[in-house]
Homo-oligomer: A and B are copies of this chain.
Amino acid sequence: MNHLTLNEYVARLSDVLNSINLLNWDASTGMPDAASRRRGLQVATLNTLAQQLLLSADFAAALAHDKKQPGLTLQQRNAHRALDEAIVWHKKIPAELMATQAHLTSVAEVVWREARAKNDFAAFKPYLEKIVELKRRVADAVGYENHPYEALMHEYEPGLKLPALQGLFEQLQSRLIPLARAVHAAPKPDNHFLFRHYPEAQQRQLSTHLATRIGYDFTRGKLDTTTHPFEISMSRDDVRITTRFNPHFINAGLFGTLHEAGHGMYEQNVDPALSDTALTLDLTGLYAVAGASFGLHESQSRLWENRIGRSLTFWQHHFSLLQSTFPGVLEDIDVGQFYRAINRSEPSAIRVEADELTYDFHIMLRVELEIGLIDGSVRVDDLPGLWSEKLQHYLGIPAPDDSHGVLQDIHWSKGMMGSFPTYTLGNVMGAQFMATALQSSPDIQKAINRADYQPLREWLTAQIYQHGRTFQPGELLQRVTGSALDAGPYLGYLEQKYRALYPSV
């Protein structure tokens, strides 16, 4: 590596991280199962090379040199800041700790899969204990302001402090708990027709059409099917999404596609000038992603899935296409019935199947347990009991068993502690952005009302997408909405929507 410029070094880093994304995409979409072990090692090798590049003396010299240029732009200065912070962060974590984590989590994920299949928490327990211990050491190594949990959240939502998160949760609980109780006491709308026969080929056709309508660009993307849907990009011009088609449940593939298309539109609309720079890389997580944080990303997937895709006006335009795509299947159903069915709320044990009204309770439950695990006030042993208690508290139901309780999510087995808050942050920030967008121009809502999503997309691009990771999530939220995290718009949206759906509430 002889005297490259900073931009050249960062472009190399970007190429390596985007290659890791392809290795991971392929592992989920078509790789033979037999190749899993070696693929894990291939990802680990590229990850090591990326970290070595970032921490090399040549890289540091190029960064120092780049900082001395006259007339640095805001983007250049923010890129320098991101690089400085990441280098400090990576240097704080001993290599031995990273290696242990990589090895432990690769084994733990396999153990977790088997434990979940067999409803055997005891089998996973010793691994989870080691992971918790390891995350505590990571937190101690990188440091924090108020609580070790902040150090873990930093990997997913840089800058977020625990008091701010807890304040947000309290704000949500005070209004969501009574709203959910009232809704769940009311008669449930019929939704049996969502479980009729929807052949996969037609579902794919419909999902492709609707994703295109909202603005996902298939000339720079691709839709595949996987067990667990996701979005990942190999460059701004190669942003792929996946979904899962269930021939006996229309929601999974349909709203799954709109959700991932929302993620995809964020990545596809970053300023091309930022491609392969530090402002389209998560340098802490060593992950090629243009979105500003996990929470910001989730704000966009949920905005397009829920605010647009689960709205009455959306289906007033597209329900007839849905009907004609599946001849005879929905001819006895009208758009009002369909809208009420796809928004039916009920307490359930599984996070990924939860409706808009109950989703955040699943997050609060997990985050409370994670905080306790990391500060030592909760022991791994206590998890199944606490899980049931909290599910009862928030949703009034017991956990069916550990497979459908404490073992349901992959996150902990992969060492992803501290990422759950970003789902709720996404809901909250999405509503703040939407409120700002609608206030900024009456044309945006008018266009949505005639199924034209371009003005909203252009506003989001100008305000959010184009900037990539130029701003930290808190900075970006403040810039766009003039406000810090605030659950008000989200609560207002949910209350209005569910009171209209359930007139007795």
Show the binding face of A for B, using Cβ within 8 Å.
Answer: 1, 11-12, 15-16, 18-19, 22-23, 26, 30-35, 37-39, 41-42, 45-46, 48-49, 52, 218-222, 234-238, 275-276
What's the least CB distance linking A194 to chain B, in Å? 31
Q: CA separation between A41 and B14, bound complex, in Å?
A: 10
A38 engages B222 (CB within 8 Å): no
22 A-B contacts (beta carbon < 8 Å)? A1-B52, A11-B41, A16-B49, A18-B38, A22-B23, A22-B26, A26-B26, A31-B222, A31-B234, A32-B221, A32-B222, A34-B219, A34-B220, A34-B237, A35-B220, A35-B234, A35-B235, A35-B238, A38-B276, A39-B234, A39-B235, A49-B49
Q: CA separation between A235 and B30, bound complex, in Å?
A: 14
B46 engages A15 (CB within 8 Å): yes
**Chain B residues near A48 (CB-CB < 8 A):** 12
Closest B residue to A31 using CB positions: B238
Q: CA separation between A46 and B46, bound complex, in Å?
A: 9
**Identical copies of this chain, number:** 2
A16 engages B219 (CB within 8 Å): no
Q: CA separation between A275 and B31, bound complex, in Å?
A: 18
B38 engages A238 (CB within 8 Å): yes
Which 7 pairs, one residue from A and one from B, show the smallest C-beta to C-beta distance?
A35-B238, A15-B45, A34-B237, A38-B235, A15-B42, A35-B237, A34-B220
**Chain B residues near A218 (CB-CB < 8 A):** 32
Of the candidates A34, A219, A234, A238, the one having the most CB atoms from chain B within 10 angstroms of its own CB is: A238
What's the least CB distance linking A329 to chain B, in Å? 25
* Contacts A32-B218, A32-B221 supplied; 4 other A-B pairs, CB < 8 Å: A1-B52, A16-B46, A38-B234, A38-B238
Of the candidates A26, A52, A275, the one having the most CB atoms from chain B within 10 angstroms of its own CB is: A26
Q: CA separation between A272 and B364, bound complex, in Å?
A: 48
